[in-house]
């Protein structure tokens, strides 16, 4: 990679960012396409966010990704927010359009693409059970509602948080029916039976953690299971899905697809199909 006077800068802000796989994915695509860009990590402490965003604008950085814990707090610092990012209440991609910072959210696009490519899932008319009610759940609801699902059931540990999420979306999507479920064993059974798709949006599954007593045996044989967690590659939830003969996938496809969508916003060029995913997989296996 040759950096010259007119090389355009891309990057990621977060805290921490040392673990991020985005620099690898984006630089692999830049290199494969021979573009004059470079993608770098910027660790930004929460109290420095405003200064960092002003600095990135002043430096003429072409675009940047935003990750935990800045995805929502960055919004008031930007000049324009896309309708999808507004609905998600979070921005993961910022594009510097001649000094105007525009916030996008490509996580939803990423989820839908991964559901289609990795599981062959078609959202139209389907029943989806979502585990969790945080930022990632909100993004999933936004994209799934826009894609035409007929029913969404939210199961969250803290009931009030699930209620608040459902209320927000009920007002926006009159054609989708929304339900709340407990995460507790027994109470979840009926909803597991009804679901065409189960999506885990929580961090449960990372570092070997698992949902207490959750058992997928009652899911329909055609149902699919998606876990946004990708490390470990097979979470206890996915192992359970596999044991029950259900089609399932981890969040690698979503990670790669949200990156592809951001890349094309910044560069105007598509990343070569499959390249970002292969790069991430090679890193995780290595």
Q: How far is the CB of 138 from ligand ATR (least distance, A)?
A: 7
Q: Would you count residue 15 as binding ligand ATR (CB under 6 A)?
A: no
Q: How far is the CB of 204 from ligand ATR (least distance, A)?
A: 5
Q: Would you count residue 253 as binding ligand ATR (CB under 6 A)?
A: no
Q: How far is the CB of 143 from ligand ATR (least distance, A)?
A: 14
CA dihedral of 52, 57, 62, 66, whole degrees rounded to 10: 30
C-alpha to C-alpha distance for 37 and 234, rounded to whole angstroms = 34
| Closer Cβ to ligand ATR, 68 or 100, answer by number | 68
C-alpha to C-alpha distance for 195 and 181, rounded to whole angstroms = 12
| Closer Cβ to ligand ATR, 96 or 202, answer by number | 202
Q: Would you count residue 202 as binding ligand ATR (CB under 6 A)?
A: yes
The 3-state secondary structure of 253-285, one letter per residue: HHHHHHHHHHHHHHHCCCCCCCHHHHHHHHHHH
Q: Is the distance from CB of 66 to CB of 74 less than 8 angstroms?
A: yes
| Closer Cβ to ligand ATR, 96 or 143, answer by number | 143
Q: Among 151, 157, 179, 242, which residue interacts with ligand ATR (rule: CB under 6 A)? A: 157
Q: Among 17, 52, 91, 136, which residue interacts with ligand ATR (rule: CB under 6 A)? A: 136
Q: Would you count residue 133 as binding ligand ATR (CB under 6 A)?
A: yes
Q: Which of 243, 249, 248, 273 is nearest to 261 (CA)?
A: 273
Determine which one of 2, 71, 193, 277 is catalytic: 71
| Closer Cβ to ligand ATR, 7 or 215, answer by number | 215
C-alpha to C-alpha distance for 208 and 212, rounded to whole angstroms = 12
Residue 71 bears catalytic tag: yes
Number of residues in contact with ligand ATR under rule CB under 6 A: 14
**Beta-carbon neighbour count of residue 116 at 10 Å?**
15
Q: Among 57, 151, 161, 242, which residue interacts with ligand ATR (rule: CB under 6 A)? A: 161
Residue nearest to ligand ATR (CB): 134
Q: Would you count residue 48 as binding ligand ATR (CB under 6 A)?
A: no
Q: In the beta sheet, which residues pair with residue 64?
A: 11, 94
Q: Is the distance from CB of 108 to CB of 115 less than 8 angstroms?
A: no
Q: Among 158, 177, 185, 210, which residue interacts with ligand ATR (rule: CB under 6 A)? A: 158
Q: Would you count residue 204 as binding ligand ATR (CB under 6 A)?
A: yes
C-alpha to C-alpha distance for 127 and 223, rounded to whole angstroms = 10
- DSSP H helical segments within the chain, as ranges? 22-33, 49-58, 83-88, 107-119, 135-146, 159-172, 189-194, 236-243, 252-267, 275-285
Which residues bind to ligand ATR, rule: CB under 6 A?
Answer: 132-137, 156-158, 161, 201-204
Give the active site residues. 71
């Amino acid at each position: 990679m040759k950096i010259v006077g007119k090389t355009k800068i891309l990057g990621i802000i977060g805290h921490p960012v040392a673990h991020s796989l985005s620099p690898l994915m984006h630089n692999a695509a830049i290199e494969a396409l021979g573009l004059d860009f470079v993608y770098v990590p910027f660790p930004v402490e929460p109290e420095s966010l405003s200064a960092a965003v002003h600095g990135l604008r002043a430096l003429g950085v072409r675009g940047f990704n935003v990750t935990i814990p800045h995805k929502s707090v960055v919004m008031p610092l930007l000049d324009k927010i896309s309708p999808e990012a507004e609905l998600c209440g979070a921005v993961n991609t910022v594009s510097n359009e001649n000094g105007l910072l525009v916030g996008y959210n490509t996580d939803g696009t990423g989820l839908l693409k991964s559901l289609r490519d990795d599981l062959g899932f078609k959202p139209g008319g389907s029943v989806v059970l979502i585990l969790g009610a945080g930022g990632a759940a909100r993004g999933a609801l936004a994209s799934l509602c826009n894609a035409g699902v007929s029913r969404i059931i939210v199961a969250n540990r803290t009931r009030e948080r699930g209620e608040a999420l459902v209320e927000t979306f009920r007002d926006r999507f009159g054609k989708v029916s929304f339900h709340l479920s407990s995460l507790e064993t027994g109470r979840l059974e009926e909803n597991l039976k009804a679901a065409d798709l189960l999506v885990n949006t929580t961090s449960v599954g990372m570092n070997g953690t698992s949902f207490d007593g959750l058992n997928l045996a009652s899911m329909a044989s055609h149902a699919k299971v998606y876990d946004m967690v990708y490390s470990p590659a097979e979470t206890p939830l996915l192992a359970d899905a596999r044991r029950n003969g259900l089609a399932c996938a981890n969040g690698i496809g979503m990670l790669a697809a949200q990156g592809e969508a951001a890349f094309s916003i910044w560069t105007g060029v598509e990343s070569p199909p499959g390249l970002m995913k292969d790069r991430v997989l090679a890193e995780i296996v290595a």
